[in-house]
């Protein structure tokens, strides 16, 4: 059964229907107009303007330095390109954890200035007041549990999360809390596959995994990782669909060669 082919605009309701009908949800990141256009045209269901832009676009080591203004810039660029996919923009570190009023103000800025469809934030019980306040303004919210890159300094490593019982129980209880609050979906990052499957079975809302196994309701990857543009990052969960870094370097190298040898431009390439 496929919901996805006939859909002209993916909504949170469509995602819920996909889960209901057993159709897996595809999600990828994008941060700019040109890439977002290609990703949307290729039929991905959800485009995440992730705060991974901090790493991928700006070259920071972590997602912490990216600001709300930066996320809004990326969000605007992506929304302009997209006609079909649901666009979700990450609330960056420091814009929703302090208090729920600030969280609402940040989410409203994202919705007003980017015209995105939803926001995503990291955490469970600790941020539930912020989640409630954003939802009460009619803004769809996606949760993010498991490995939460914005808390990297608390954990110190990017290793698999919720391997022990206590952490797994907390993750399940946070996931239930987010569902009860009204989140339309949750991203689960880098957790045991068995736990991913369990959360997906326990909850009615779609669970999208990144390193959470095949038993969840959909998958998300960072676009630049799956295209092979980034080279340094090679976790087990990453499937590379292309080696674009080699192709790009090859094309640029050929261009440099042609300029140096005066082969470019030729007679047909000038006025």
Which residues of the shown chain bind ligand KIV in the complex (CB under 6 A)? 29, 48, 50-52, 90, 144, 187, 189, 210, 220, 222
* Between 46 and 203, CB nearer to ligand KIV: 46
Closest distance to ligand KIV from the beta carbon of 83 (Å): 22
Cβ 51 to ligand KIV, closest distance in Å? 5
Closest to 11 measured CA to CA, from 87, 108, 119: 87
Active site residue 189: yes
Q: Please give the Cα distance from 36 to 56 (Å, whole number).
A: 15
Residue 48 or residue 199: which is nearer to ligand KIV going by CB? 48
Least Cβ distance, residue 56 to ligand KIV (angstroms): 8
Comparison of 33 and 237: residue with beta carbon closer to ligand KIV:
237
Q: Which of 6, 189, 194, 257 is catalytic?
A: 189
Q: Report, in Å, the least distance between residue 144 CB and ligand KIV.
A: 6
In whole angstroms, give the CA distance from residue 142 to residue 194: 22
Nearest-Å Rg of the Cα atoms of the chain is 20
Residues in the chain: 271
Q: Which residues, listed in sequence order, are joined to residue 46 by a DSSP beta bridge? A: 27, 86
What is the b/e burial string over 118-131, where b = at least 16 CB atoms within 10 angstroms of the residue's CB?
A: bbbbbbbeebbebb
Rounded-to-integer distance, Cα 175 and Cα 197, Å:
13
Residue closer to ligand KIV by CB (options 42, 256) is: 42
Query: Which sequence positions are flagged as catalytic?
Result: 189
């Amino acid at each position: 059964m496929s919901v996805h082919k006939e859909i002209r605009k993916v909504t949170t309701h469509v995602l819920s229907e996909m889960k209901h009908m057993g159709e897996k949800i595809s999600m990828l990141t994008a941060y700019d107009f040109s890439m977002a256009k290609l990703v949307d045209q290729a039929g991905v269901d959800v485009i995440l303007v992730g705060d991974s832009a901090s790493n991928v676009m700006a070259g920071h080591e972590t997602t912490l330095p990216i600001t709300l203004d930066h996320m809004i810039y990326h969000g605007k660029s992506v929304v302009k390109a997209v006609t079909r996919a649901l666009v979700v923009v990450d609330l960056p570190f420091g814009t929703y954890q302090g208090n729920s009023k600030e969280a609402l103000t940040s989410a409203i800025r994202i919705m007003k200035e980017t015209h995105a469809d939803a926001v995503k934030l990291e955490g469970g019980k600790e941020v539930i007041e912020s989640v409630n306040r954003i939802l009460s303004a009619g803004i769809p919210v996606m949760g993010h549990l498991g490995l939460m890159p914005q808390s990297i300094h608390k954990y110190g490593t990017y290793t698999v999360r919720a391997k022990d019982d206590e952490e797994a129980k907390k993750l399940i209880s946070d996931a239930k809390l987010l569902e009860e609050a009204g989140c339309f979906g949750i991203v689960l990052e880098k957790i045991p596959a068995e736990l991913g499957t369990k959360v997906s079975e326990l909850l009615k809302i779609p669970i999208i995994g990144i390193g959470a196994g095949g038993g969840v309701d959909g998958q998300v990857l960072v676009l630049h990782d799956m295209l092979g543009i980034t080279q340094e990052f090679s976790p087990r969960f990453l499937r590379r669909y292309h080696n674009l870094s080699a192709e790009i370097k090859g094309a640029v190298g050929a261009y440099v060669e042609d300029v140096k040898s005066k082969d470019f431009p030729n007679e047909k390439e000038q006025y």
